[in-house]
A and B are shown apart, each in its own frame.
Chain A
């Protein structure tokens, strides 16, 4: 019974989950992960490094200490935020590669605003900073969004270009208007901003670690995005546009509007990732603030099945991978670029295995329908 499609079931049973299908898809995800690591191992062997040592160092680097575990959550936070935005965009069939740039815009806004209004009390400064950072990222997502909606310009290319522009914008501001005055007096001219006022710092959850309350905000937002996509009209329309743009058009849904909206929202969430990095972790803006989260967030979203709740465990997994990679690079001198390579392979395998999964569920549905007759 559980295989019958949702619309043939009575309302009360629509929420029942097809466990066999879910298990099969999760199995495919884990296989993709395994394959990527196997290929990584072969590459390491060819390079004369011991893959077992490399991988076990990664593992103990994360789970061997409280710091490792909290650090994996610290890195999971921006990944989750970026991943949520990418989920929203993907659900409308819009591919957002621009999270790096949107994250930078969020970070820039948070830095500028909190330095400008440093005298404000925390209860006012933190929420305003977060909202403005969201809006800055959203604005950066809106530009490719409107270009896609109005002119059908390929959003993948424009978002990539917007990343490069945002990076230069940050370099420009960090070498001039936003540069740390202390760096000028000391003569170092480091490309970083002044330290942000303590009023804007997010409270730390575990003392002596970098784990901050942004992690909780991110998880709450994941639930909010789930409700938004599956329980509101706008969310429903975004998903409809992604599933079948032609049918949506006939149903009177303004397809371009929802595409632009989804990319704008995606930008906002990436902007939030930038905000929490600045006010939660670094307490200042510095070069390399993105740490590649914009790209890792894509892998995270895909691995989370493009489902807001699935992205929560996925972000922790990839947060751990990043922490492990740092440790591996320092302890056994295997460059952390290995993880970038693995991420690329995981994207390829996950997206490649979807066809297999779809074909499998179609056959299973057909078999079930045949059995019923």
Chain B
């Protein structure tokens, strides 16, 4: 039991935590853009899977990691367009369309993986140090984009009061398309950060619920980039502890250790269940003349 408190292990946990925060961070920051504009995209998990596969596939066959990253971004945007079309243009119930997108992404990535790659292969990914640096970028960028640019202010207006924004000439549809696709592109990067840097492989259901946790982090972080960063670090730390517990085998069954992040998500959602900050038009499709 004392093993877990040794310096090596603590440093190890910390290092893994920072590394593991990357996918949560990208996916959650992306989701916060979509949600600020009023769209809950619950399909992040599916987008991450498609992004992770696209990135891995291209990197495996071209040998170029940057091309892989680009492929993940493009795959993410395509998924974002599909989500926008269904939930913004066709005004579908967002919760369900997100689940549909998740199922589609899960099925598509498994189908493509089984038919084109087949067995688990590994690649030499980005060096682990590179990603934490990259991982710091989205936070100030998100803050700047949302708080300091006209686009950010428009996005907030569209998320708070789409009818008012519409009457002032802001295109609600275009703004939501943009933010959902930006979020989806970041979710694609989040997926690629797994397959191109953290685990350097692709397998079915690689993300194992990370995308859903990322959505939860947006609520947890109160729609603010810094709150999301705190949440991402908390979750990656729990995840790192969980991995180390399994490695060290210190008497806690692995199954219980694996449960921890999910349990924590529920507790975190319950504790931070304060909806005061929530964008007023969240989860509400916009129809001119009806809202």
* A130-158 near B? 1/0 per residue, CB < 8 Å: 00000000000001000100011110111
Residue of A nearest to B209 (CB): A164
Known contacts A153-B270, A348-B104; A335 and B275 CB within 8 A of each other: no
B259 adjacent to chain A (CB < 8 Å): yes
CA distance A293 to B220 in the complex (A): 30
Inter-subunit contact A351/B93 (CB<8 Å): yes
Interface residue? A353 (CB, 8 A): yes
Determine if B116 is an interface residue (Cβ-Cβ < 8 Å). Answer: yes
| Size class of the A contact interface (CB-based, 8 Å) | 35 or more
**Interface window among A19-27, A112-120, A167-175, A279-287:** A167-175
Please tell me which one of the listed residues A97, A156, A165, A352 contacts residue B263 in the complex, with CB atoms under 8 A apart. A165
Report how far A97 CA is from B103 CA in the complex, Å. Answer: 12
Residues in B neighbouring A352, C-beta threshold 8 A: 85-86, 90, 92, 97
**A73 part of interface (Cβ distance < 8 Å):** no
Are A152 and B275 touching (Cβ within 8 A)?
Answer: yes
Does chain A have a CB within 8 A of B114?
A: yes
Q: Interface with A: B21-29, B56-64, B105-113, which one?
A: B105-113
| Known interface pairs A156-B99, A157-B212, A165-B263; A337-B110 also in contact (CB < 8 Å) | yes
Chain A residues, CB < 8 A from B216:
154, 157, 161
Partner of A344, one of B106, B114, B115, B208: B106
Looking at chain B, what size class is its interface with the partner chain?
35 or more
Question: Are A43 and B108 in touch, CB under 8 angstroms?
Answer: yes
> Could you tell me the distance between the alpha carbons of A47 and B115 in the complex, rounded to whole angstroms?
7
Whether, in the assembled complex, A95 has its beta carbon less than 8 Å from a beta carbon of chain B, the answer is: yes
| B258 located at the interface, meaning its Cβ lies under 8 Å from any Cβ of chain A in the complex | yes
Would you call A53 an interface residue if the criterion is a C-beta within 8 Å of the partner chain's C-beta atoms? no
Given contacts A43-B108, A165-B263, A340-B107, contact A351 B255 (CB under 8 A): no
Asked if B273 is at the interface of the complex by the 8 Å CB criterion, the answer is yes
Asked if B212 contacts A342 (CB within 8 A), the reply is no
- Tell me the dominant secondary structure on chain B's binding face: helix
Q: Of the candidates A153, A171, A335, A343, which one forms a contact with B111 in the assembled complex, judged by CB atoms under 8 Å apart?
A: A335
**B270 contacts across to A, CB distance below 8 A:** 147, 151, 153
Contact of A172 among B105, B115, B253 (CB under 8 A): B253
Name which residue of chain B comes closest to A160, CB basis.
Answer: B212
B51: min CB distance to chain A, Å: 16
Which chain B residues numbered 191 to 244 have a C-beta less than 8 Å away from chain A?
A: 204, 208-209, 212-213, 215-216, 219
Residues in A172-215 with C-beta less than 8 Å from chain B: 172, 175-176
Per-residue contact bits, chain A 350-373, to B (CB 8 Å; 1 contact, 0 not): 011111100000000000000000
- Let me know if A316 is at the binding interface, CB within 8 A: no
Query: Could you tell me the distance between the alpha carbons of A344 and B111 in the complex, rounded to whole angstroms?
Result: 13
Residues A338 and B262 in contact, CB atoms below 8 Å apart:
no
20 CB contacts below 8 A, A to B, read: A49-B115, A95-B95, A97-B99, A153-B266, A153-B273, A154-B216, A161-B262, A161-B265, A162-B262, A165-B263, A175-B253, A298-B99, A341-B107, A341-B108, A344-B105, A345-B100, A347-B104, A348-B100, A351-B96, A352-B97
The 10 A-B residue pairs with the shortest CB-CB distance, nearest first, are A344-B104, A340-B107, A341-B107, A347-B100, A344-B103, A337-B110, A151-B273, A172-B255, A352-B90, A348-B100
Interface residues of A (CB under 8 A from B): 43, 47, 49, 95, 97, 143, 147, 151-154, 156-158, 160-162, 164-165, 168-169, 171-172, 175-176, 295, 298-299, 302, 334-335, 337-348, 351-356
